[in-house]
Structure 1
């Protein structure tokens, strides 16, 4: 009787150990490593409504990623996944279908402001909008204005220079068309300009701005590449 009791106890202990959650450990490049060398870790994914919930964590125990996969052993994600900074804020979101990017892909700065908003189809980027905010360093120099840059199929097609309100005073440059539009603080159109093939003013009205705060500093008029008048405001 005692022997059977010990055998049952050992069997129970073995089963419990075998059933414990299997955790994977990774370095900063998501290469599997020993526990003592980890930067991130991932407990065994849990089955939820026919999918598997993947949860990754920083070494500190704070969440780094959550998403549902169609496979328990592969990252075949389905639906929206979320990435987190170690400060606990969302650093990005992506939408997958059958393990392939299909839909919105967003990244955020640490303060929560939108950094990039892209659209993917069958794993290929269709459009992307990048946000640069005033004070952000560009090549080591703090920007004096806010900037939105729009890409289509990796081609930069539009830029918007503004100050706080992208619908207020701003300059919109259509890079694939070689044109620009300028707007006042009330959002009304102040002028339009067409550039030549070399990027020089050709026909229309150019508005020049100063910044901190953003304001109109001059209005210039061009006909066939020749400046007609320079009006200081």
Structure 2
């Protein structure tokens, strides 16, 4: 009898030993795999009524350990404290569970061992505690933050530099979603606050980061900005603005503190609001590092507008009279004159005009040459005036610089697109078509939209429309009455051809 009991006990212990040595292998996504492809592996063993789970990195370093009532991969039901570790053996995080539900304290740490989360969960799913983020200049994070939770709905977030009691701002949110932000300057001195429940009055502050400094202070009264101060990174005032019910001013300084401009505000002729009246209005870029525009006013009229590029170089200088443009001068980065254009009756008349991705040349009020460029500077299209034929000859290019379309338009063309088009495929003329008021009159054309490619062909009184999906599969083959497409009341035209469609096509 004793011998039988001993054999039974030995078999039971052997089963436990074998069970504890069982390994499950996982790939990098924690999907089950074979030993030769594994990145992690798991060993389990019974601990009373629970199961102790231990996960390991490929090299045998412990990755996680914790108790569970069910150790099924991807469906574990944890019970108690579960801890995760880095490859170096440091604690990465731990959480506490009760029957698979997160209840109790949880903490997590970053690669440097700094606390990221220190939160306690309740049975109802709510939590209290703190979370943190830290400066990481390499990843473009320029400030620290700490969020203190009284509950998931009631919390305070603090954005700070190095000292959480120093320069900072902190936003408190209540259960109703209302918020109040308090702003602090050097050494934690209070500047003011702004509340979502009292948006008509208060203070809003903006900051530079790395290191944190005040960049702008705005004071609100009855919903309007009554005082604004902008500071340079050196702490000196760049611009100060004050307004009251009757008048106001804006004064601008250079980085050394020298006054360079002053603008006076006066009530509008209707007496409803303040408008620029006399002096120089300096507008700073979004980061306050350079000027974006300077506008000069005299007796309430704008007489000069200067625009600067993203590097702070003067780009254009616009002269105005009675708010109508008279002349625009354009400059190179070295300050030399690039071109100029004269206006008549508010329209370009003679010279070269530059706008975003656009260059236009005018002579005696007629556009004689224009170019459109992509964001990378490659030419997308150009249009030339043929004086002998009184027509425009246009060319559209693809991203590689190859010709897609050429077309001819009458100078006296109305607002609807009409043209004689030649389409090129692989650099050679392929299709010809005539378009009048956006409707094909003869020939065939093919173009690409955002989602499909259309092939449109005129056949007598009919328009043949073929539509191909992104994979080149024919998804529509229709025969449409040309008369119905030319009906101006038809707002669902399928075969309209516009200049914008050709410009956006990239076959």
TM-score, normalising length: structure 2? 0.37
Which whole-Å deviations, capped at 9, do the CAs of 1:130-157 have from their partners, x for residues lacking one? 43322257xxx6022223356764x696
User: Who is 1:8 aligned against?
Assistant: none
Which SS does the other structure have where 2:89 is aligned? Answer: coil
User: CA separation of 1:33/1:184 partners in 2, compared to 1, >3 Å: closer, same or farther?
Assistant: same
User: Who is 2:65 aligned against?
Assistant: 66
User: CA separation of 1:66/1:223 partners in 2, compared to 1, >3 Å: closer, same or farther?
Assistant: same
**Retained in 1: the 8 A contact 2:181–2:194?**
yes
User: CA separation of 1:228/1:218 partners in 2, compared to 1, >3 Å: closer, same or farther?
Assistant: same
**Retained in 1: the 8 A contact 2:93–2:106?**
yes
Q: Which runs of 5+ in 1 are unaligned?
A: 1-11
User: Who is 1:213 aligned against?
Assistant: 211
Which SS does the other structure have where 1:45 is aligned? Answer: strand
* Counterpart Cα distance in 1 of 2:80 and 2:63: 17
* Counterpart Cα distance in 1 of 2:170 and 2:71: 47
Which SS does the other structure have where 1:36 is aligned? Answer: helix
User: Who is 2:182 aligned against?
Assistant: 181
* Counterpart Cα distance in 2 of 1:30 and 1:65: 13
Q: Which runs of 5+ in 2 are unaligned?
A: 1-9, 232-236, 238-507
Q: Which among 137, 157, 160 is matched to residue 159 of structure 1?
A: 157
Which SS does the other structure have where 2:44 is aligned? Answer: coil
User: CA separation of 1:18/1:130 partners in 2, compared to 1, >3 Å: closer, same or farther?
Assistant: closer
User: CA separation of 1:19/1:213 partners in 2, compared to 1, >3 Å: closer, same or farther?
Assistant: closer
User: CA separation of 1:19/1:95 partners in 2, compared to 1, >3 Å: closer, same or farther?
Assistant: closer
**Retained in 2: the 8 A contact 1:195–1:202?**
no
* Counterpart Cα distance in 1 of 2:42 and 2:210: 47
Counterpart mapping for 1:130-169 below 5 A: 130-135=131-136, 142-149=140-147, 153=152, 158-169=156-167
Bigger shift: 168-177 or 69-78?
A: 69-78
Q: Give how far 1:70 is off.
A: 4.1
* Counterpart Cα distance in 2 of 1:182 and 1:195: 14
User: CA separation of 1:229/1:126 partners in 2, compared to 1, >3 Å: closer, same or farther?
Assistant: same
**Retained in 2: the 8 A contact 1:118–1:125?**
no
The answer to whether residue 108 in structure 2 is matched with residue 107 in structure 1 is yes
Q: Give how far 1:66 is off.
A: 1.2
Counterpart mapping for 1:12-161 below 5 A: 19-20=17-18, 21-47=21-47, 51-70=50-69, 75-122=76-123, 124=125, 126=127, 130-135=131-136, 142-149=140-147, 153=152, 158-161=156-159
**Retained in 1: the 8 A contact 2:110–2:116?**
yes
**Retained in 2: the 8 A contact 1:205–1:221?**
yes
Which whole-Å deviations, capped at 9, do the CAs of 1:86-141 have from their partners, x for residues lacking one? 1322221111112211123333221222334444334845467543322257xxx6
* Counterpart Cα distance in 1 of 2:53 and 2:130: 28
**Retained in 2: the 8 A contact 1:101–1:123?**
no
Count of residues in correspondence between the two structures: 213
Bigger shift: 143-152 or 60-69?
A: 143-152
**Retained in 1: the 8 A contact 2:178–2:197?**
no
Q: Give how far 1:178 is off.
A: 3.5
User: Relative to total residues, which structure has the larger strand share, 1 or 2?
Assistant: 2
The answer to whether residue 221 in structure 2 is matched with residue 223 in structure 1 is yes
Q: Give how far 1:25 is off.
A: 1.6
User: CA separation of 1:230/1:98 partners in 2, compared to 1, >3 Å: closer, same or farther?
Assistant: same
**Retained in 2: the 8 A contact 1:195–1:203?**
no
Q: Give how far 1:79 is off.
A: 2.2
* Counterpart Cα distance in 1 of 2:38 and 2:171: 47
User: CA separation of 1:205/1:34 partners in 2, compared to 1, >3 Å: closer, same or farther?
Assistant: same
Q: Give how far 1:64 is off.
A: 0.4
